[in-house]
Structure 1
């Protein structure tokens, strides 16, 4: 059923990247291409890929460091397939990921996005059950039994209220992804911005609650976590949510506009980060986090 690309933007831990690659190569459905775009400089990595000797694997190293957004954009530009996954370089696929997603695509021809079943693991690969993911599951994610189709304002309002998606696990319809791509200017919310842009373009999503096929790694020293403690990710959040609220209002999606102004999930995250910033004596971070957590409510009168 069409071609399939796994795109892997890489920077960071060599061992976890190698595990991610092995999990792709272990798929029961072997009809795919894996493209790794290396934004780092570890000397042993090119030789390791050469040693794989697998014609399905293409390895590229950037001549200079592009950073998160530009490297993700490059992944989209270099993708060619009907369907694309942009997985994290420390995440893992279950062996039946591709087999499961192909079945969903067969049942929903033309679908723009598939959010498959995900479990969260920590830095050591153990199943993790932290507050962030509990909030995603119980406060923001729709209650899905089996599989559900969502689109338009309904899904936009849902993810703007609290982003419960696991971006690296999502399968994207390739032509739509390449037409929209990631927005410039975002490093933490680039995934949410992409989903909302695709919804505005008329794409739909299937949420699968039947089978766990992806392991999403969450650990404290991730880029988003570091930015969260310093408060810088919330400066980006305020800029994005303010702009998207106006866009949703102009589109005639008042529930989505209100969700963007209230941004409950982002405010809850800021509250959760406050003790850490206080403990580290990060005064600027504390001010940014407190403003984001408590001042956003004043914008809720509209919509």
Structure 2
């Protein structure tokens, strides 16, 4: 599933990366959230591949709304919500199929990811280097669950949402929260794992995640809106984890140290932009 609203060149690269899969057993559904330029949709339909479906929403649903629309349309047991600016490496589908066959009841599969910039060059931003440190090692597929998993993700969300292969009925059970536009993946994962769900982690790199200034996560970081949402989720999880008796995870959620450090890194950018409101939000999140 590919929710679409973005640059044509990145979209073309994303689609071609699906077509380049070594395992041909896939279906691509692109859900256009009323992007003003109709050329990307016209190009996609011109490919003439029966495995590709193009749909255009009647009205703009927004980020979480279009995610929910994508999940409604899934006909398979598992899916990935690939970003329209990301790329699958050729072995992605094959690896997901292999792991799913070995762990048929798992809710999420997180493969290895490399980060690319706007031009497609591999980069290692500070945040992603920290993610790599916090992420458990998995030279072979390993199943994670319970407090160990939730505490690890709350300490620093090392999952890359567009790369995750989801069990569809698990996502449908909880859905994406309409009040969240950036950290809805973390909130959903917490719901699944608190309900007894599991994640399989594997270090094999089969996905390219694009970071650039035009992404939702980038511009909501500088103006502070991302951290308002993170603050909400961490406060909720501190209470919910404690209610389960997962006190270590609750303490991690209350402290949310890496989230505070990330907010601190955005302070100079907000100051240069003379964004007073954003500065207030970032300062509160960092030091409160």
Fold match by TM threshold 0.5: yes
Once the two structures are superposed, the pairs formed by residues 162-177 of structure 1 within 5 Å of their partners are: 162-177=156-171
Residue 30 (structure 1) aligned to one of 11, 24, 27: 24
Query: What are the Cα deviations for residues 225-268 of structure 1, in whole angstroms up to 9, with x where unaligned?
Result: 11111111111111221112111111221111111111122111
Q: How does 1:136-215 map to 2 (within 5 A)?
A: 136-138=131-133, 140-209=134-203, 211-215=204-208
Match of residue 14, structure 1, among 8, 16, 22 = 8
The residue aligned with 1:282 is 275
**Secondary structure at 2:123's aligned position in 1?**
coil
TM-score (norm 1): 0.92
1:65 is matched with: 60
1:44 to 22, 39, 42: 39
Tell me by how many angstroms 1:41 deviates. 2.3
Structure 2 unaligned runs (5+)?
Answer: none
- Structure 1 residue ranges, 4+ long, deviating more than 3 angstroms after superposition: none
Task: State the match for 2:247 in structure 1.
Answer: 254
Q: Is the CA contact 1:118–1:169 (under 8 Å) kept in the aligned structure 2?
A: yes
Q: Aligned with 2:30: secondary structure?
A: strand
Is the 1:9–1:75 Cα contact (8 Å) retained in structure 2?
yes
Which of 99, 113, 117 does residue 118 from structure 1 map onto?
A: 113
Kindly indicate whether the alpha-carbon contact (under 8 Å) linking 1:88 and 1:168 is maintained by their aligned counterparts in 2: yes
Q: CA deviation at 1:221?
A: 2.4
* Contact 2:99/2:141, CA 8 A, preserved across alignment: no
Q: CA deviation at 1:22?
A: 0.9
Mapped contact 1:163–1:265 kept (Cα < 8 A): no
Cα deviations across residues 144-192 of structure 1 (Å, max 9, x unaligned)? 3333211111111111111111110010112212222212210011010
SS, match of residue 212 in structure 1: strand
- Tell me the CA shift for residue 143 of structure 1: 3.0
CA RMSD of aligned residues (A): 1.2
Contact 1:91/1:216, CA 8 A, preserved across alignment: yes
**TM-score when normalising by structure 2:** 0.96
Counterparts of 1:143 and 1:272 in 2: how far apart (Å)? 27
Cα distance in 2 for residues equivalent to 1:144 and 1:54: 36
1:66-109 deviations in Å (ceiling 9; x for gaps)? 11110111111111211110111100001110111111112222
Q: Of residues 60, 71, 80 in structure 1, which corresponds to 2:75? A: 80
Matched residues, number:
287
Q: Distance in 2 between matches of 1:177 and 1:236?
A: 20
Contact 2:108 2:165 in 1 (8 A): yes
Give me the whole-angstrom Cα distance separating, in 1, the residues matched to 2:145 and 2:137. 15
Task: Give the secondary structure class of the aligned counterpart of 1:149.
Answer: strand
Cα distance in 2 for partners of 1:166, 1:148 equals 17
